[in-house]
Structure 1
Amino acid sequence: MTQVDLEPRYVVGIVCFIGLISAPFLLPILTLRQLTAALFLGMFAMSWDYVSGYTGQLSFGHSMFFGIGGYTAAVLNLELGLTPVLAILVGTIAAGIAGLAVGFPALRLEGPYLALITLIAPLVLVQIVNIFPGTLGGDAGLPSPAGLVSVDEPIGILSTIGFETVFVHETIVYYYLALALFLAIYALFYVFTRSYVGSIFTAIHEDEDAVRSVGINAAKFKVFAFTMSGTVGGLAGAAFVHTAGEPNPGEILSIVVSIEVVLVSILGGMGTITGPAAAGIVYYFVRDALQTSSLTIPVLDATVGHISMALFFAIALLVLFFLPKGALPWVTEWSRDILERRSQRSESPS
């Protein structure tokens, strides 16, 4: 019988997948709600990595797409009475159009100039939200729109075994909806980045002139990257406000959200999709643990929660210093070294 040796990173991936599937049976409801929100942060990070990690077109205002998707869906549901599914669909399309609109300036600009445009865009949207507080809620945001699953009590499901009634909390339903969307977005980006499209994206990142010299329309792929990234980011933002969050600037539109997404992607490993997806989940819980910690630091005479952001950024700097390419590339290298040493030991004579 042939023995199949899996790299440790694949084993970790399988364990994490099983853990995500089993989370509702292992975690309390409050933690499950946090994990649901963390999945959305992972989705946001993947949408950024798709365009910036692969093509090198730096976007420092990706919250624009999350905000357009989320606010469009929320307003359509609250003001016009559209169903959540239809509101999410329209919000996704609106964000895709915004991605297309940003993609065209990206044909003429690059580096800090493109980054500046993407940085200004969400700031303009925040001002628009404040100008129309009656419709868009201002700094406080809008009230929560209708949920994808609208129930006031736990959902009763009749078991096929013994006809016992099993009650499922709404939070569990939202969690599995978020997990399904997370996995679908991951699969979509994974397939695209591993196809010829991903190869062209990487080539554009490394040498756009060389791509043009072989007759490939680099402009078309750059616009496509922004459009697809915006569409997926808008989908995640629209689904977020109908499941795990609220349509307010602090959660989906502020510049802080954009910075967090960039930081998460760099820490996880730019240009990998898997790294930002996983780092988004880890980042959410590490940040929350630091913010809610009441542990006192003797020398500073302050609680960890009081200086949580300073501590977090210090940790991030240490990670970037020791792992400049991000966590996933390091894990990949480490797992391959283990597999290679294992192979050498099995081939060496006893």
Structure 2
Amino acid sequence: MSQVKVPAWVTVALLPAVNVLVAFLVSALLFIYIDINPIDAAKVMWTGAFGYAEGFGYTLYYATGFIFTGLAVSVAFHAGLFNIGGEGQAYIGGLGVGLVCLTLGEYAPWYIVFPIAIIAGGLFGAAWAFIPAYLQAKRGSHIVITTIMFNFIAASLMAYLLVDVLKPDNTMATESRVFAVSSWLPKMHEMLSVFGIEMAASPLNLSFFFALFCCLFVWLFIWHSRWGYEIRSVGANPSAAGYAGINYIKIVVLTMIISGMLAGFFGLNVLQGELHQIKLNFVEGFGFTGIAVALMGRNHPIGVLLASLLFGFLYQGGAELSFEYGVDRNIVVVLQGLVILFSGALEHMFRPTLERTYLRLFAKSENGAA
């Protein structure tokens, strides 16, 4: 009789689903406490996020940002690196995107500005991740500490630039001038209207498709390239990887550069696609939430995509809930915190029970068949 093994889908798919379900059950207690029917609240959130075209567009718009920051964290995880600097890397990457739009937007259409903005955003984000990577690889400085410090440095640098360098003379707002209209990324409803398809206006723009392309790129790079194999080897066992001839310093730097590049693409969606100017704090915590997205998605592009949709749902559904019931928008932060708690800090709390249940059920079925 062969020994029954727990399949991967129990850990990869079933366990996150159970964690999210428990988070929503605990959220239901919160709604009951504030005198809101949890079933009605769930209906409002679902309808607001997926029930009509405009809401669905907002959900995908938020999910686009989470895809970029979630992929950035997941790539670093594969090398055993905990990149907490997605917030700062997205901030500086957005600076690169914004500078391209500010300088070239007056002279070139969006389809010329967009690929250059991709390059600039990636380079700026990668450059911001390079120094912590070098310090980790060469000096032994812990990547968590250095990337957190670089988040604060990025915030201070952007505050200085937006107050003393990029701010127009005729305003007190900490923001750059508006990009030229010709550099704005097309919105989804604008693209669909060309084919005669009517869709309600929303911030969803062309960068959503680029985010999907990044998911494909990460999948091919991590699981179907020599560099990806070396990254996973270093993440699994740095000492064994070194004995196998893999250069630890090169892999750490390469991984963090790619991670910072992915985070740097965040500005494409928010700045070139929606705000059309560089504003203070435009990242709005998406870099930190990307950590939860990567954890929930088990560091796989498909998982990151699904987790991004979940957090997009929480953002948009929470906004609808706030409008419908007049509750504080911070309720969304609480919901996110519960999802992060059960999917991150307590992600393995139900794992032993699930595995025992699976083995008990399928061991009996196999014994009966034998």
By relative contact order (CA 8 Å, sep 6+), the higher-ranking structure is 2
1:266 aligns with 2:256: no
**How far off its partner does 1:151 sit?**
11
For residues 164-313 of structure 1, the aligned pairs below 5 Å read 165-166=196-197, 171=202, 174-175=204-205, 177-195=206-224, 196-245=226-275, 247-252=278-283, 256-269=285-298, 271-290=299-318, 292-294=320-322, 303=327, 305-313=329-337
Which letter does structure 1 place at the counterpart of 2:54? I
Tell me the distance in 2 between the aligned counterparts of 1:321 and 1:229. Answer: 23
Q: C-alpha displacement at 1:97, in angstroms? A: 3.1
When the two chains are superposed, the root-mean-square deviation of aligned CA atoms in Å is: 4.2
CA apart distance, 1:185:
0.8
Counterpart of 2:300 in 1: which secondary structure?
Answer: coil
Q: Deviations over 1:118-170 (max 9, x none)?
A: 11112112112222325445984335533123899787536xxxxxx555677
Q: Is 1:54 the equivalent of 2:91?
A: no
**8 Å contact kept, 2:91–2:264:** yes
1:75-114 equivalences under 5 Å are 75-79=99-103, 81=105, 84-85=113-114, 86-109=116-139, 113-114=142-143
Q: Deviations over 1:227-249 (max 9, x none)?
A: 12222222343344211455334
- Change over 3 Å in CA distance of 1:245–1:42 after alignment to 2: farther
Cα offsets for 1:242-285 (capped at 9, x unmatched): 11455334332x6x33321112222332x333323321221122
Stretches of structure 1 lacking an aligned partner (at least 5 in a row):
1-6, 11-24, 159-164
Of the candidates 52, 56, 62, which is equivalent to residue 37 of structure 1?
62
| Structure 2 unaligned regions, length at least 5 | 1-8, 14-49
Q: 1:66 aligns with which of 84, 90, 98?
A: 90
CA 1:283 to 1:154, structure 2 compared with 1: closer, same or farther past 3 Å?
closer
User: Percent same amino acid among aligned pairs?
Assistant: 14
Letter in 2 for 1:180: F
Question: Which residue identity lines up with residue 175 of structure 2 in the other structure?
Answer: G
1:50-104 deviations in Å (ceiling 9; x for gaps) = 01x2111122111222222212221232245365323333232332333334332
1:132-151 equivalence runs, <5 A: 132=161, 133-137=163-167, 140-142=174-176, 144-145=178-179, 146-149=183-186
Following superposition, the deviation at residue 107 of structure 1 comes to 0.4
Q: How many residues align?
A: 308
Structure-2-length-normalised TM-score: 0.67
3-state SS in 2 of match to 1:251:
coil
Tell me the amino acid that sits aligned with residue 204 of structure 1. Answer: V
Q: AA paired with 1:280?
A: S
Q: 1:63 to 1:42 in 2, by over 3 A?
A: same
**Kindly tell me: are residues 60 and 322 of structure 1, through their superposed partners in 2, closer, same or farther at Cα, counting changes over 3 Å?**
closer
- C-alpha distance in structure 2 between counterparts of 1:110 and 1:273, whole Å: 29
Shift of 1:48: 1.5
